[in-house]
Amino acid sequence: MSIHPTAIVDPKAELGTEVVVGPYCVIGPDVFIGDGCWLQHHVTVCGPTKIGERNRFHAFSSIGQQTQDLKYAGEPTYLEIGDNNCFREFVTVNRATSIGNVTIVRDNGNFLAYSHIAHDCDVGNDVIFSNNGTLAGHVVVGECAVLGGLSAVHQFCRIGKHAITGGCTKIVQDVPPYMLADGNPAEVRGINLVGLERRGFSSEAIRVLKEAFRILYRAKLNTKQALAEIGRSLPESPELRDLITFIETSERGIIR
């Protein structure tokens, strides 16, 4: 473990092995930082926060600060971060609002400069947030999703797995998995073709998703009719089950 002499580490913080804490970092009480984490300089970590292994925090990132929700009255709330994430300059991640609740960031995420994860969010594995990607409270982001630069997501929305948003996109409803949403207000423009190819999806899986997109967004059917047609006319697949289940469980409705 290496702690720069200008850093301030509260005695009630717990640091694992091979943790590097750079100049002028501040680590508060009730913080646990796992093995192999690296804090560059001027990083602030507030608790209660639990951080896994091999995470990298670049300059001026602020992790575990209290929620910005005006309802917050000082209750004990939490932040949990998994393993192998990278938080670039000025990234902010807030704890939850209500007593006992948790903001969750899972594994292998890449959060570019000025990204923001608000209270009570649940961010999945292997995501990428481009610069200034912003989540309001209670947002759920599925695995392998990509948030475009300057994108903003309204509270309680969901971004489906393997979905992508374009730069400067305004998200006020759910983005279905495997889709590409862009615009202000956002529209679904097609499937996330490049992302799916890079992730190794088969040509058949991509073909089925393209046809599902056509039925859902181009066939002039309402959502219920489109789902019925997708179930009737397309071969069953894991991707199709993901898409149908996501839409059926949407509380805010999906972007059309």
Please check whether residues 186 and 211 belong to one and the same domain: no
Please check whether residues 217 and 186 belong to one and the same domain: no
- Among 120, 126, 174, 182, the active-site one is 120
- Which of 145, 160, 191 lies at the terminal end of a domain, its last residue? 191
In a domain, 7, yes or no: yes
Please check whether residues 86 and 210 belong to one and the same domain: no
Please check whether residues 231 and 160 belong to one and the same domain: no
Please check whether residues 94 and 38 belong to one and the same domain: yes
Please check whether residues 107 and 54 belong to one and the same domain: yes
- Among 42, 119, 138, 162, the active-site one is 119
The enclosing domain of 242 has a CATH number of: 1.20.1180.10
Please check whether residues 219 and 135 belong to one and the same domain: no
How far apart CA 164 and CA 166 sit, in angstroms, is 7
State which H helix or E strand residue 93 sits in.
Answer: strand 92-94
Please check whether residues 52 and 159 belong to one and the same domain: yes
- Is 120 catalytic? The answer is yes
Closest CA to 50 of 83, 89, 2, 26: 83
State which H helix or E strand residue 190 sits in.
Answer: strand 186-191
- Among 34, 82, 137, 142, the active-site one is 137
The enclosing domain of 16 has a CATH number of: 2.160.10.10
Segment 219-229 shows an average pLDDT of 96
Please check whether residues 114 and 239 belong to one and the same domain: no
Segment 58-77 shows an average pLDDT of 96
Residue 150 domain boundaries: 2-191
Please check whether residues 78 and 160 belong to one and the same domain: yes
Segment 175-203 shows an average pLDDT of 97
- Is 137 catalytic? The answer is yes
Q: Which string of DSSP letters, residue by residue, matches 96-160?
A: -SSTT-EEEE-SS-EE-TT-EE-TT-EE-TT-EE-TT-EE-TT-EE-TT-EEPTT-EE-TT-EE-
pTM, two decimals, is: 0.96
In a domain, 13, yes or no: yes
Q: What is the pLDDT of residue 133?
A: 98
Residue 1 has pLDDT above 90, yes or no: no
Please check whether residues 139 and 243 belong to one and the same domain: no
The pLDDT confidence band at residue 102, using thresholds 50, 70 and 90, is very high
Please check whether residues 172 and 157 belong to one and the same domain: yes
In a domain, 253, yes or no: no
Strand 186-191 to strand 179-183: parallel, antiparallel, or no bridges (unpaired)?
antiparallel
Strand order across the beta sheet in which 31-33 lies: 14-15, 31-33, 49-51, 78-81, 102-105, 122-123, 140-141, 158-159
